[in-house]
């Protein structure tokens, strides 16, 4: 039987996560970044396993603050402050891991850092989901544009 849980764009009735409404393009953009972050985790584990500090650092930096700074501002603006803060902390933790790997921190400690970074992946995933639609902040702009004052009559 086809359950409602398999219909695209619909959250399950028991889904307690808060929806972050972004444009369809914004959703694609963020999910693409998420897949990069998963690759970061894979490559950091690989770098630590082989004791290759350069590889670990490069993989970690790939999901560092630079990633956050590249997000187009219209997507960033649609994100709730709490969400943005969690994302920022998470990206910063990967930069810190890169620095630690380059400084020759023991591999076990690097893994502990990764574990803590991944705690943020899980925490955020437990709290939020993405929904393609019209972001709240854009609605505000639209309303303004449609108000009589801004139309000049
Ligand atoms: C600030 C919040 C946040 C953080 C931190 C975060 N994610 Fe996500 N991630 C999300 C949201 C929201 C989704 C979409 C979930 C949904 O709509 O059901 C998502 C989706 C994903 C997906 C699915 C991508 C796809 O193509 O469908 C992957 C993989 C993923 N995240 C990996 C990670 C990894 C790995 C980390 C940590 C290194 C991470 N995320 C950190 C919020 C976050």
- Number of folded domains in the chain? 1
Residue of 11, 20, 37 best suited for mutating to test ligand 1, as the one with most atoms within 8 Å of CB: 37
> To 5 degrees, how large is the angle CA 114–CA 67–CA 122?
40
Tell me, yes or no, whether 143 lies in a domain: no
Tell me, yes or no, whether 112 lies in a domain: yes
- For ligand 1, is residue 67 a contact (CB within 6 Å)? no
Tell me, yes or no, whether 132 lies in a domain: no
Q: What residue numbers bound the domain in which 106 lies?
A: 32-127
Residue nearest to atom 26 of ligand 1 (CA): 31
Model pLDDT, residue 108: 98
Tell me, what CATH number does 80's domain have? Answer: 1.20.120
Tell me, yes or no, whether 136 lies in a domain: no
Residue of 35, 64, 118, 125 best suited for mutating to test ligand 1, as the one with most atoms within 8 Å of CB: 125
Instruction: Report the distance separating Cα 49 and Cα 81, nearest Å.
Output: 36
Tell me, yes or no, whether 75 lies in a domain: yes
| CA neighbor of 117 nearest in space, from 64, 47, 76, 52 | 64
Per-residue pLDDT of 5-55, as tens digits, reads 444 556 677 889 999 999 999 999 999 999 999 999 999 999 999 999 999
Tell me, yes or no, whether 5 lies in a domain: no
Tell me, yes or no, whether 69 lies in a domain: yes
Tell me, yes or no, whether 21 lies in a domain: no
Predicted TM-score (pTM) above 0.95: no
- For ligand 1, is residue 60 a contact (CB within 6 Å)? no
Atom of ligand 1 nearest to the CA of 86: 1
């Amino acid at each position: 039987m086809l359950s409602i849980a398999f219909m695209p764009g619909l959250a399950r009735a028991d889904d307690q996560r808060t929806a972050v409404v972004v444009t369809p393009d914004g959703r694609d953009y963020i999910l693409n970044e998420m897949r990069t972050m998963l690759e970061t985790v894979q490559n950091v584990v690989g770098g630590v396993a082989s004791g290759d500090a350069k590889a670990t650092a490069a993989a970690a930096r790939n999901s560092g603050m630079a990633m956050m700074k590249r997000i187009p501002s219209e997507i960033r603006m649609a994100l709730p402050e709490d969400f943005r803060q969690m994302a920022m902390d998470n990206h910063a933790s990967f930069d810190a891991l890169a620095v630690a790997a380059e400084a020759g921190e023991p591999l076990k400690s690097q893994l502990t850092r990764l574990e803590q970074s991944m705690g943020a992946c899980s925490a955020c995933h437990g709290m939020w989901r993405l929904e393609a639609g019209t972001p709240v902040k854009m609605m505000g702009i639209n309303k303004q544009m449609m108000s009589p004052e801004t139309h000049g009559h």
